[in-house]
Amino acid sequence: MYLNANYYDQKSFYGITKYEALQNNLVAMGLYEFELSIYWFLKTGMSYKYLRINEDISFSDTSSKTYSGNYKSIQSIPGIFAENSISLLNNKASLMTGIRFDHLNDYGSIFTPRILLRYQPENEFVIRVSAGTGFRTANLFSDNSILLASSRDIIIAEELNPEKTFNYGADVLYYFTFGKIAGSLNLDYYRTEFSNKIIPDYDKNPSEVIFANLNGSAFSNVFQSEANINVMRNFDIKLAYKFIDLQYENNGIKYQQPFNSTHRFFSSFSFSPLNKSWSISSGLQWFGVQQLPSTASNPIQYQRPQQSESYTMINAQFNKF
Protein backbone atom coordinates (compact mmCIF):
# COMPACT_ATOMS: atom_id res chain seq x y z
CA MET A 1 0.00 0.00 0.00
CA TYR A 2 1.32 3.43 -0.97
CA LEU A 3 -0.13 6.80 -0.03
CA ASN A 4 1.30 10.25 -0.76
CA ALA A 5 -0.21 13.72 -0.39
CA ASN A 6 1.27 17.14 -1.20
CA TYR A 7 0.21 20.75 -0.74
CA TYR A 8 1.85 23.50 -2.78
CA ASP A 9 1.33 27.25 -2.40
CA GLN A 10 3.08 29.73 -4.70
CA LYS A 11 2.93 33.53 -4.70
CA SER A 12 5.20 35.24 -7.19
CA PHE A 13 5.69 38.19 -9.53
CA TYR A 14 7.05 38.00 -13.08
CA GLY A 15 7.58 41.69 -13.82
CA ILE A 16 4.09 43.20 -13.81
CA THR A 17 2.46 39.75 -13.82
CA LYS A 18 1.23 38.44 -10.46
CA TYR A 19 0.87 34.67 -10.30
CA GLU A 20 -0.64 32.77 -7.36
CA ALA A 21 -1.20 29.02 -7.36
CA LEU A 22 -2.56 26.43 -4.94
CA GLN A 23 -2.09 22.75 -5.69
CA ASN A 24 -3.40 19.71 -3.81
CA ASN A 25 -2.15 16.31 -4.89
CA LEU A 26 -3.08 12.84 -3.61
CA VAL A 27 -1.75 9.52 -4.91
CA ALA A 28 -2.89 6.17 -3.50
CA MET A 29 -1.91 2.73 -4.74
CA GLY A 30 -2.55 -0.84 -3.64
CA LEU A 31 -0.31 -3.60 -5.02
CA TYR A 32 -0.30 -7.38 -4.69
CA GLU A 33 2.39 -9.67 -6.09
CA PHE A 34 1.89 -13.31 -7.06
CA GLU A 35 4.92 -15.61 -7.24
CA LEU A 36 3.74 -18.10 -9.85
CA SER A 37 7.17 -19.80 -9.96
CA ILE A 38 10.79 -18.92 -9.25
CA TYR A 39 10.92 -17.48 -12.79
CA TRP A 40 7.47 -15.94 -13.10
CA PHE A 41 5.95 -13.05 -11.14
CA LEU A 42 2.67 -11.22 -11.58
CA LYS A 43 1.80 -7.87 -10.00
CA THR A 44 -1.70 -6.40 -9.99
CA GLY A 45 -3.14 -3.38 -8.31
CA MET A 46 -5.34 -0.33 -8.26
CA SER A 47 -4.41 3.34 -8.11
CA TYR A 48 -6.08 6.68 -7.61
CA LYS A 49 -4.73 10.14 -8.38
CA TYR A 50 -6.37 13.41 -7.41
CA LEU A 51 -4.97 16.76 -8.53
CA ARG A 52 -6.56 20.14 -7.86
CA ILE A 53 -4.95 23.33 -9.19
CA ASN A 54 -6.23 26.85 -8.58
CA GLU A 55 -4.32 29.64 -10.36
CA ASP A 56 -4.88 33.41 -10.21
CA ILE A 57 -3.18 35.73 -12.71
CA SER A 58 -3.37 39.51 -12.63
CA PHE A 59 -1.33 42.49 -13.84
CA SER A 60 -0.09 45.27 -11.56
CA ASP A 61 -0.04 47.82 -14.39
CA THR A 62 -2.09 48.60 -17.47
CA SER A 63 -1.39 45.81 -19.92
CA SER A 64 -2.63 44.68 -23.30
CA LYS A 65 -2.37 41.05 -22.19
CA THR A 66 -5.66 39.19 -22.10
CA TYR A 67 -5.02 36.08 -19.99
CA SER A 68 -5.64 37.49 -16.50
CA GLY A 69 -8.22 35.59 -14.47
CA ASN A 70 -8.80 32.49 -12.39
CA TYR A 71 -7.97 29.05 -13.78
CA LYS A 72 -9.21 25.93 -12.00
CA SER A 73 -8.50 22.31 -12.79
CA ILE A 74 -9.57 19.13 -11.00
CA GLN A 75 -8.29 15.73 -12.13
CA SER A 76 -9.68 12.52 -10.65
CA ILE A 77 -8.02 9.43 -12.12
CA PRO A 78 -8.82 5.93 -10.83
CA GLY A 79 -6.92 3.11 -12.51
CA ILE A 80 -6.06 -0.57 -12.52
CA PHE A 81 -2.84 -2.18 -13.70
CA ALA A 82 -1.03 -5.48 -14.09
CA GLU A 83 2.63 -6.35 -14.68
CA ASN A 84 3.98 -9.73 -15.73
CA SER A 85 7.69 -10.59 -15.37
CA ILE A 86 9.35 -13.78 -16.64
CA SER A 87 13.01 -14.85 -16.41
CA LEU A 88 14.36 -16.67 -19.48
CA LEU A 89 17.53 -18.42 -20.67
CA ASN A 90 18.80 -19.31 -17.18
CA ASN A 91 18.21 -15.74 -15.95
CA LYS A 92 20.21 -14.21 -18.79
CA ALA A 93 17.06 -12.60 -20.16
CA SER A 94 13.85 -11.21 -18.72
CA LEU A 95 10.59 -10.16 -20.32
CA MET A 96 8.24 -7.72 -18.65
CA THR A 97 4.82 -6.78 -20.01
CA GLY A 98 2.41 -4.36 -18.42
CA ILE A 99 -1.00 -2.82 -18.95
CA ARG A 100 -2.78 0.13 -17.36
CA PHE A 101 -6.36 1.29 -17.63
CA ASP A 102 -7.10 4.79 -16.31
CA HIS A 103 -10.30 6.81 -16.34
CA LEU A 104 -9.93 10.60 -16.46
CA ASN A 105 -12.92 12.55 -15.21
CA ASP A 106 -12.74 15.06 -18.08
CA TYR A 107 -11.39 12.95 -20.94
CA GLY A 108 -12.64 9.39 -20.49
CA SER A 109 -10.69 6.12 -20.43
CA ILE A 110 -7.10 5.62 -21.60
CA PHE A 111 -5.39 2.25 -22.12
CA THR A 112 -1.55 2.17 -21.90
CA PRO A 113 0.37 -1.08 -22.57
CA ARG A 114 4.16 -1.48 -22.41
CA ILE A 115 6.84 -4.15 -22.91
CA LEU A 116 10.50 -4.43 -21.83
CA LEU A 117 13.04 -7.06 -22.85
CA ARG A 118 16.40 -7.29 -21.06
CA TYR A 119 19.23 -9.56 -22.23
CA GLN A 120 22.55 -10.02 -20.41
CA PRO A 121 24.63 -12.72 -22.13
CA GLU A 122 27.70 -11.84 -20.03
CA ASN A 123 28.19 -10.01 -16.73
CA GLU A 124 29.69 -7.00 -18.50
CA PHE A 125 27.18 -6.68 -21.35
CA VAL A 126 23.49 -5.68 -21.12
CA ILE A 127 20.93 -4.97 -23.87
CA ARG A 128 17.48 -3.49 -23.24
CA VAL A 129 14.63 -3.00 -25.71
CA SER A 130 11.34 -1.38 -24.73
CA ALA A 131 8.12 0.00 -26.17
CA GLY A 132 4.96 1.45 -24.70
CA THR A 133 2.36 4.16 -24.68
CA GLY A 134 1.70 6.99 -22.25
CA PHE A 135 -0.29 10.13 -21.59
CA ARG A 136 -0.18 13.31 -19.54
CA THR A 137 -2.49 16.26 -19.06
CA ALA A 138 -1.02 19.69 -19.67
CA ASN A 139 -0.83 22.23 -16.85
CA LEU A 140 -0.39 25.25 -19.06
CA PHE A 141 1.02 27.94 -16.76
CA SER A 142 3.12 25.74 -14.46
CA ASP A 143 4.59 23.92 -17.48
CA ASN A 144 5.42 27.23 -19.21
CA SER A 145 6.00 29.60 -16.29
CA ILE A 146 8.80 31.38 -18.18
CA LEU A 147 6.14 32.89 -20.47
CA LEU A 148 4.71 34.85 -17.54
CA ALA A 149 7.81 37.07 -17.77
CA SER A 150 7.43 37.49 -21.53
CA SER A 151 5.91 40.50 -23.28
CA ARG A 152 3.84 38.10 -25.41
CA ASP A 153 0.16 37.58 -24.79
CA ILE A 154 -0.87 33.98 -24.02
CA ILE A 155 -3.76 32.72 -26.13
CA ILE A 156 -5.56 29.45 -25.34
CA ALA A 157 -7.27 28.70 -28.65
CA GLU A 158 -9.31 25.68 -27.50
CA GLU A 159 -9.76 23.15 -24.72
CA LEU A 160 -6.47 21.29 -24.38
CA ASN A 161 -6.68 17.49 -24.55
CA PRO A 162 -4.19 15.07 -22.93
CA GLU A 163 -0.89 14.49 -24.67
CA LYS A 164 -0.63 10.90 -25.96
CA THR A 165 2.57 9.11 -26.95
CA PHE A 166 4.01 5.91 -28.34
CA ASN A 167 7.63 5.35 -27.31
CA TYR A 168 10.17 2.73 -28.32
CA GLY A 169 13.91 2.32 -28.18
CA ALA A 170 16.95 0.36 -27.06
CA ASP A 171 20.11 0.81 -25.04
CA VAL A 172 23.37 -1.10 -24.80
CA LEU A 173 25.63 -1.06 -21.71
CA TYR A 174 29.16 -2.47 -21.58
CA TYR A 175 31.42 -2.65 -18.51
CA PHE A 176 35.19 -2.96 -18.93
CA THR A 177 38.40 -3.19 -16.92
CA PHE A 178 41.94 -2.69 -18.16
CA GLY A 179 44.57 -2.88 -15.45
CA LYS A 180 43.79 -0.12 -12.96
CA ILE A 181 41.22 1.43 -15.31
CA ALA A 182 37.54 0.51 -15.05
CA GLY A 183 34.47 2.00 -16.60
CA SER A 184 31.41 1.64 -18.75
CA LEU A 185 30.17 2.57 -22.22
CA ASN A 186 26.50 3.23 -22.86
CA LEU A 187 24.57 3.83 -26.10
CA ASP A 188 20.84 4.44 -26.20
CA TYR A 189 18.26 5.57 -28.72
CA TYR A 190 14.59 6.33 -28.11
CA ARG A 191 11.86 7.66 -30.36
CA THR A 192 8.59 9.14 -29.13
CA GLU A 193 5.65 9.69 -31.48
CA PHE A 194 2.84 11.99 -30.37
CA SER A 195 -0.76 11.60 -31.47
CA ASN A 196 -1.44 14.80 -29.54
CA LYS A 197 1.01 17.32 -28.11
CA ILE A 198 0.58 20.82 -26.73
CA ILE A 199 3.24 22.89 -28.51
CA PRO A 200 3.28 26.68 -28.09
CA ASP A 201 3.06 28.50 -31.44
CA TYR A 202 5.45 31.47 -31.39
CA ASP A 203 5.48 32.10 -35.15
CA LYS A 204 1.91 33.00 -36.09
CA ASN A 205 2.06 36.34 -34.29
CA PRO A 206 5.29 37.74 -32.76
CA SER A 207 3.28 39.39 -29.96
CA GLU A 208 1.45 36.18 -28.96
CA VAL A 209 2.01 32.59 -27.88
CA ILE A 210 -0.87 30.38 -29.01
CA PHE A 211 -1.67 27.07 -27.32
CA ALA A 212 -3.83 24.51 -29.14
CA ASN A 213 -4.05 20.79 -29.71
CA LEU A 214 -1.72 19.49 -32.39
CA ASN A 215 -3.38 19.32 -35.80
CA GLY A 216 -0.91 16.88 -37.28
CA SER A 217 1.91 14.79 -35.81
CA ALA A 218 5.03 15.24 -33.72
CA PHE A 219 8.05 13.14 -32.79
CA SER A 220 11.30 13.21 -30.89
CA ASN A 221 14.47 11.24 -31.63
CA VAL A 222 16.96 11.04 -28.77
CA PHE A 223 20.39 9.41 -29.07
CA GLN A 224 23.00 9.44 -26.31
CA SER A 225 26.48 8.01 -25.96
CA GLU A 226 28.21 8.06 -22.59
CA ALA A 227 31.57 6.90 -21.24
CA ASN A 228 32.43 6.63 -17.54
CA ILE A 229 36.07 5.94 -16.64
CA ASN A 230 37.68 5.42 -13.23
CA VAL A 231 41.48 5.48 -12.92
CA MET A 232 43.18 4.02 -9.84
CA ARG A 233 39.96 4.44 -7.81
CA ASN A 234 40.44 8.19 -7.26
CA PHE A 235 40.14 9.85 -10.68
CA ASP A 236 36.78 9.83 -12.48
CA ILE A 237 36.05 10.97 -16.03
CA LYS A 238 32.64 11.24 -17.68
CA LEU A 239 32.06 12.12 -21.34
CA ALA A 240 28.65 12.25 -22.99
CA TYR A 241 27.11 13.38 -26.27
CA LYS A 242 23.36 13.82 -26.75
CA PHE A 243 21.37 14.33 -29.94
CA ILE A 244 17.78 15.57 -29.53
CA ASP A 245 15.66 16.03 -32.65
CA LEU A 246 12.24 17.55 -31.91
CA GLN A 247 9.91 18.10 -34.88
CA TYR A 248 6.21 18.54 -35.40
CA GLU A 249 3.78 18.98 -38.27
CA ASN A 250 0.85 21.34 -37.84
CA ASN A 251 -1.71 22.01 -40.56
CA GLY A 252 0.55 20.31 -43.11
CA ILE A 253 3.68 22.39 -42.32
CA LYS A 254 6.78 20.91 -40.64
CA TYR A 255 8.61 22.77 -37.87
CA GLN A 256 11.62 22.33 -35.64
CA GLN A 257 10.55 22.80 -32.03
CA PRO A 258 12.11 26.07 -30.77
CA PHE A 259 14.49 26.50 -27.85
CA ASN A 260 16.01 23.05 -28.27
CA SER A 261 19.73 22.41 -28.77
CA THR A 262 19.92 19.46 -31.15
CA HIS A 263 23.56 18.75 -30.26
CA ARG A 264 24.87 18.71 -26.68
CA PHE A 265 28.13 17.64 -25.07
CA PHE A 266 28.96 17.07 -21.42
CA SER A 267 32.19 16.25 -19.61
CA SER A 268 33.20 16.07 -15.97
CA PHE A 269 36.41 15.30 -14.12
CA SER A 270 36.86 14.63 -10.41
CA PHE A 271 39.82 13.67 -8.23
CA SER A 272 40.20 12.79 -4.56
CA PRO A 273 43.08 11.15 -2.67
CA LEU A 274 42.58 7.64 -1.33
CA ASN A 275 42.01 8.97 2.21
CA LYS A 276 39.09 11.09 0.88
CA SER A 277 40.23 14.17 2.85
CA TRP A 278 39.47 16.52 -0.04
CA SER A 279 38.16 16.47 -3.60
CA ILE A 280 38.19 18.64 -6.69
CA SER A 281 35.83 18.43 -9.65
CA SER A 282 34.98 20.34 -12.80
CA GLY A 283 32.29 20.10 -15.44
CA LEU A 284 31.71 21.43 -18.93
CA GLN A 285 28.43 21.57 -20.83
CA TRP A 286 28.20 22.66 -24.46
CA PHE A 287 24.87 23.43 -26.12
CA GLY A 288 24.56 23.77 -29.88
CA VAL A 289 22.43 26.26 -31.79
CA GLN A 290 18.70 26.48 -31.08
CA GLN A 291 15.84 27.29 -33.42
CA LEU A 292 14.28 30.62 -32.39
CA PRO A 293 10.74 31.91 -33.04
CA SER A 294 10.34 33.79 -36.29
CA THR A 295 10.29 37.60 -36.16
CA ALA A 296 10.10 38.03 -39.96
CA SER A 297 6.82 39.96 -39.70
CA ASN A 298 8.42 42.62 -37.47
CA PRO A 299 9.98 45.80 -38.89
CA ILE A 300 13.57 45.16 -39.97
CA GLN A 301 15.08 46.87 -36.92
CA TYR A 302 13.16 44.48 -34.63
CA GLN A 303 13.91 41.26 -36.49
CA ARG A 304 16.16 38.68 -34.85
CA PRO A 305 18.21 35.72 -36.15
CA GLN A 306 16.42 32.44 -36.83
CA GLN A 307 18.93 30.56 -34.66
CA SER A 308 20.79 31.26 -31.44
CA GLU A 309 24.53 30.91 -31.03
CA SER A 310 25.98 27.88 -29.29
CA TYR A 311 27.21 28.40 -25.73
CA THR A 312 29.27 26.69 -23.03
CA MET A 313 28.85 26.41 -19.27
CA ILE A 314 31.85 25.57 -17.05
CA ASN A 315 31.92 25.00 -13.31
CA ALA A 316 34.50 23.85 -10.77
CA GLN A 317 34.31 22.83 -7.14
CA PHE A 318 36.74 22.12 -4.29
CA ASN A 319 35.70 20.32 -1.09
CA LYS A 320 37.66 19.85 2.15
CA PHE A 321 36.45 17.21 4.58
Q: Output the pLDDT for position 92.
A: 94
Residue 11 pLDDT exceeds 80 = yes
pLDDT per position as a tens digit, 93-124: 999 999 999 999 989 999 999 999 999 999 99
**Residues 21/55, Cβ–Cβ less than 8 Å:** yes
For a pLDDT cut of 90, what percent of the chain falls above it? 76
pLDDT per position as a tens digit, 190-212: 999 999 999 899 988 888 999 99
| pTM metric for this prediction | 0.87
Q: Output the pLDDT for position 49.
A: 97
For a pLDDT cut of 70, what percent of the chain falls above it? 100
Residue 63 pLDDT exceeds 80 = no
Q: Output the pLDDT for position 292.
A: 92
The residue segments making up the domain with residue 238 are: 152-320
C-alpha span between 18 and 148 (Å, rounded): 9
Q: In this structure, which long-range contacts are made by residues 3-11, counting pairs with CB atoms below 8 Å and at least 24 apart in sequence?
A: 3/27, 3/28, 3/29, 4/28
Q: Nearest Cα to 77, choosing from 136, 33, 163, 132? A: 136
Q: Nearest Cα to 104, choosing from 81, 74, 76, 80? A: 76
292 within a domain of the structure (yes/no): yes
146 within a domain of the structure (yes/no): no
Q: Output the pLDDT for position 294.
A: 85
63 within a domain of the structure (yes/no): no
195 within a domain of the structure (yes/no): yes
Q: Output the pLDDT for position 287.
A: 98
How many CB atoms within 10 Å of residue 154? 20
Q: Output the pLDDT for position 302.
A: 85
87 within a domain of the structure (yes/no): no
Give CA torsion, residues 130, 135, 141, 146, to 10 deg.
20
**Residues 217/248, Cβ–Cβ less than 8 Å:** yes
183 within a domain of the structure (yes/no): yes
pLDDT class of 242 with cuts at 50, 70, 90:
very high
C-alpha span between 262 and 244 (Å, rounded): 5
Number of domains in the chain: 1
Q: Output the pLDDT for position 276.
A: 83
127 within a domain of the structure (yes/no): no
pLDDT per position as a tens digit, 114-153: 999 999 999 999 999 999 999 999 889 989 999 999 889 9
Q: Output the pLDDT for position 169.
A: 98
83 within a domain of the structure (yes/no): no
Residue 60 pLDDT exceeds 90 = no
Residue 62 pLDDT exceeds 80 = no
Per-residue pLDDT averaged across 234-256, rounded?
92
- The chain-wide mean pLDDT, for the chain, equals 93
Per-residue pLDDT averaged across 31-45, rounded?
93
Per-residue pLDDT averaged across 246-264, rounded?
90
